């Protein structure tokens, strides 16, 4: 993505979210080796720093290894941006499902009356 697009103020929440995903990936990538991929160490640091409250037990090396192995579709030992976005998409879907399941909504379901049932 050209620098002019990334330096432009986002005009929507989705544009802002996309820019944040890109910036966060590149904040951690390239510290060890290829600047366009995350090594195991870089991925672990990203998971701990950026997603620690969502992943909980990600401090466990086994958990990090499992995430790495699941993400590393081409088996090169590194996670590229596409593989990273797959993780973020999967986590977002899981969070959405969780919130939908535990949502306390007082709105009547389709076909129910608006009066509260006791």
In a domain, 114, yes or no: no
Q: What CATH number corresponds to the domain at position 37?
A: 1.10.238.10
For residue 109, the model assigns a pLDDT of 59
Which range of residues forms the domain containing residue 95? Answer: 26-101
pTM metric for this prediction = 0.70
Question: Residue 58: what pLDDT?
Answer: 47
Measured from the Cβ of residue 88, the count of other Cβ atoms closer than 10 Å reads 14
Rg for the chain (alpha carbons), in Å?
19
Q: What is the pLDDT of residue 25?
A: 97
CA distances from 94 to 24, 43, 91, 97, 100 (A): 20, 20, 5, 5, 10
Determine, yes or no, domain membership for 108.
Answer: no
Task: Give, in order, the Cα–Cα distances in Å from 106 to each of 101, 110, 115.
Answer: 14, 12, 10
**pLDDT, position 105:** 56
**110 falls within a domain:** no
Angle, CA 21 vertex, CA 75 and CA 17 arms, to 5°: 145
Inside any domain, residue 9: no
Higher pLDDT: 31 or 112? It is: 31
Is residue 108 pLDDT above 60, yes or no?
no
Task: Please say if the pLDDT value at position 94 is more than 90.
Answer: no
**How confident is the model over 6-31, as pLDDT tens digits?**
667 878 999 999 999 999 999 999 89
For 31-62, b where at least 16 C-beta lie within 10 A, e where not — what string? eeeeeebbbbebbbbbbeeebeeebeebeeee
Q: Is residue 117 part of a domain?
A: no
- Within a domain: 115: no
Q: What is the pLDDT of residue 20?
A: 95
- Number of separate domains in the chain: 1
Instruction: Give residue-wise pLDDT tens across range 33-89.
Output: 899 999 988 988 998 889 877 766 545 667 677 777 787 777 888 899 998 999 899
């Amino acid at each position: 993505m050209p620098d002019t697009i990334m330096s432009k103020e986002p005009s929507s929440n989705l544009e802002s979210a996309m820019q944040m995903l890109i910036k966060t990936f590149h904040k951690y990538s390239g510290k060890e080796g290829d600047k366009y991929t995350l090594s195991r160490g870089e991925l672990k640091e990203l998971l701990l720093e950026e997603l620690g409250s969502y992943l909980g037990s990600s401090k466990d090396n086994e958990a990090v290894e499992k995430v790495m192995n699941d993400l590393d579709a081409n088996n090169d030992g590194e996670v590229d941006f596409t593989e990273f976005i797959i993780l973020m998409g999967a986590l977002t879907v899981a969070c959405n499902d969780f919130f939908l399941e535990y949502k306390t909504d007082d709105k009547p379901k389709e076909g129910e009356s608006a009066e509260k049932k006791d």
